[in-house]
Amino acid sequence: MLKSASAGTLESGDIYIEVSPIIEHKIDVKLTSIVAQQFGKRIKQIIIDEIAKRDLNGISVNVVDKGARDCTVKARINAVLNRAMDTEVIKWD
């Protein structure tokens, strides 16, 4: 069961991610980023890949990026998904 959750901050070099369940059977990612021109596709792909690893659908993701590195994006999406799924299991690659 997926519930609404969030992780991260709006500080420089970080990323804030909110997730919530939606009725549609899809992954909807909305990104606001200071580096969207250069790295927007990469940020979205990291988020979608991490969600796909958990075989989730019907999820809305609202992202506010302030120049986070890939490792920070991955950590934040995993943290928010753990909170949304009420799980403490962290599957680090």
Domain ranges of the chain: 5-84
pLDDT above 70 covers a percentage of the chain that reads: 92
Q: What is the mean pLDDT of residues 25-35?
A: 94
Classify domain 5-84 by CATH number.
3.30.230.10
pTM recorded for the entire structure: 0.90
46 with 21: CB under 8 angstroms?
no
Quick one: DSSP state of residue 33? E
Binning pLDDT at 50, 70 and 90, where does residue 40 land? Answer: very high
Q: Is 3 helix (H, G, I), strand (E, B) or coil?
A: coil
Rounded Cα distance, 93 and 62, in Å:
24
Q: Whole-angstrom distance between the N-terminal and C-terminal Cα of the chain?
A: 24
